[in-house]
Chain A
Amino acid sequence: MLLRSLDSGFVHPHASEITPEKVWQERRHWMSQAAIGAIGVTGVMAGLGGPAWAAEAPADKLTPFKDATGYNNFYEFGTDKADPARNAHTLVTRPWSVMVDGLVKKPLQFSLDELQKIAPQEERVYRLRCVEGWSMVLPWRGFSLAELIRRVEPLGSAKYVEFQSLADPKTMPFVGSRLLDWPYVEGLRLDEALNPLTLLAFGMYGQPLTNQNGAPVRLVVPWKYGFKSAKSLVRIRFTEKQPATAWNKAAPEEYGFYSNVNPEVDHPRWSQATERRLGEDTLFAKKRKTLMFNGYADQVASLYSGMDLRRNF
């Protein structure tokens, strides 16, 4: 195994347990064949149970590509989960630039090519937990946002980072609707943004991001509800005050600024204690328990020590 420093990235806690889709599908096939064989040859074999590795079923399986690219929340392209896949083809992702400014020593405008090259990109498999109660397991490609932050040198007064998505009414049919206050704005505290888990992603499933998943560059914050991970970024701004974020402005009692995944703090209209893993859990399967900080407590819990997470939800 490669040794990595905190700066160069993060090793997913379950990396070894995550089995690529192709492999587990082949395994399933093999197992079903083996099972048929076993029953055919001798019924006793079946009573002995499967091979040893079958017992240690992988905790997280990659979500099928078609689910990850066909079931999205990207309100600039519509409110139905299938809308982004249908409508986002109009998004123009080249040329693309990202302005990084605000309270920094070196404000810079990056072209997409420049931005992609500032640090080596790596594949990271993260769980994604949506505030609506479903989850996926996605293989991203990108680098820690900290790499970018270090290059622009934030001033001592910078306490927060604001992320702004593109809001182009010509290519995004729902920009201008009253759904949200456009452009879509998200935010993190500076220390959250500097956490090595926080990813600036350019790709998914070994290819560039599809438009509906936030091409050409997006944020991925795996211990927070999915809406915190803003898509199609055009501006990253360092501020002293907490940014006014899109969902928080729209429904402050339902979507807090922090929005850390927390099974103990319910959404006003539903429980957050459990979730359905899409593409894996069958229709009649019991929902699985949601983990504190989406299972990334070891990496991020210290960011919130002493904070009342019920109040700062």
Chain B
Amino acid sequence: MAFAVATRQRRERYIQLGKAGLFLLGLGPLLGLIFGVLNERLGANPAEYLIRSLGDWTMRALWLTLAITPLRHLFGWPWLVRYRRQLGLFAFFYASCHLLSYAVFDMDLDVAEMAHDLVKRPFIWVGFSAWLLMVPLALTSFNAAIRRLGSQNWQRLHRLVYAIALMALLHFFWMRAAKHNFNEVAVYGLILLLLFGWRVRHR
């Protein structure tokens, strides 16, 4: 009995350590970009570089979040789920940075111009909506929120993540479509297909 408690405590410590590690890891891309700006390492068009890589990191974090459940089952690692919330919040964090950098660097924070852009361009509209849908998920990511909503309602709400991923993919697809440059889009699409396919099979 005492032995089991000690093991559980040790495991808990490892998980907490892992969370701290993931937190630092998750900040890495942002710190790298800030370092790049300060040292003029982002090429001739740093604004474009920032907007695009913040978008890339949003998708990477989101895809990792969605990979947790299949990987947990595939490898028999139940503890993986403990990292899902953090990954999801990083996806939201980078999506917010992505949106903010578009607003500052592309739009000069001109609200009228942004509203115009939003209405006129489906590519912007879809990207913005995906971010908007992430907001309630981020706001209900705390344990208290899960308790308040009840786990079933909470789960239902958080199924929005599938729509968000599809919208992010469409946003990326449209961004690349005009240049017929679909290689990366195809990679993201294929991974998403695998992740969704696994869920359909293991319902």
Chain A residues bordering chain B, tally (CB within 8 A)? 27
* Contact B43 A283, beta carbon cutoff 8 Å: no
A31 contacts chain B at the CB level, 8 A cutoff: no
A208 contacts chain B at the CB level, 8 A cutoff: no
Knowing A179-B180, A269-B178, say if A71 contacts B44 (CB, 8 Å).
yes
* Contact B181 A79, beta carbon cutoff 8 Å: yes
Q: A residues within 8 A CB of B117?
A: 270-271
B12 contacts chain A at the CB level, 8 A cutoff: no
User: Can you list, as one digit per residue, whether each of A163-179 has a CB less than 8 Å from chain B (1) or not (0)?
Assistant: 00000000000000011
* Contact B43 A179, beta carbon cutoff 8 Å: no
Question: Which of B47, B105, B117, B121 neighbours the largest number of chain A CB atoms within 10 Å of its CB?
Answer: B47
- Interface residue from A251, A269, A278 paired with B121 (Cβ < 8 Å): A269
Q: A residues within 8 A CB of B105?
A: 283-284
Knowing A269-B123, A269-B174, A270-B121, say if A276 contacts B47 (CB, 8 Å).
yes
* Contact B43 A70, beta carbon cutoff 8 Å: yes
Query: Which range contains the number of B residues in contact with the other chain?
Result: 20 to 34
Closest beta carbon of chain B to A265's beta carbon, Å = 13
Closest beta carbon of chain B to A215's beta carbon, Å = 19
Q: A residues within 8 A CB of B189?
A: none
* Contact B45 A286, beta carbon cutoff 8 Å: no
Q: B residues within 8 A CB of A179?
A: 179-181
B104 contacts chain A at the CB level, 8 A cutoff: yes
Q: A residues within 8 A CB of B50?
A: 283
B46 contacts chain A at the CB level, 8 A cutoff: yes
B56 contacts chain A at the CB level, 8 A cutoff: no
Knowing A70-B43, A278-B44, say if A287 contacts B108 (CB, 8 Å).
yes
The answer for the CA separation of A84 and B180 in the assembled complex, in Å, is 18
The answer for the CA separation of A82 and B181 in the assembled complex, in Å, is 16
Q: A residues within 8 A CB of B106?
A: 270
Q: A residues within 8 A CB of B178?
A: 250-251, 254, 268-269
* Contact A276 B45, beta carbon cutoff 8 Å: yes
A258 contacts chain B at the CB level, 8 A cutoff: no
- Interface residue from B45, B104, B120, B123 paired with A71 (Cβ < 8 Å): B45
Q: Which of A254-300 contact B (CB under 8 A)?
A: 254, 266, 268-271, 274, 276, 278-279, 283-284, 286-287
Q: What are some 6 contacts across the A-B interface (CB < 8 A)? A: A71-B43, A266-B120, A268-B178, A269-B124, A269-B174, A283-B37
B residues contacting A by CB (< 8 A) are: 37, 43-48, 50, 104-106, 108, 113, 117, 120-121, 123-124, 174-175, 177-181
- Knowing that A134-B48, A250-B179, A283-B105 touch, tell me 15 more A-B residue pairs with CB under 8 angstroms: A70-B43, A71-B45, A82-B43, A179-B180, A179-B181, A251-B180, A254-B178, A269-B121, A271-B117, A274-B108, A276-B45, A276-B47, A278-B44, A283-B46, A283-B47
A residues contacting B by CB (< 8 A) are: 66-67, 70-71, 79, 81-82, 134, 178-180, 250-251, 254, 266, 268-271, 274, 276, 278-279, 283-284, 286-287
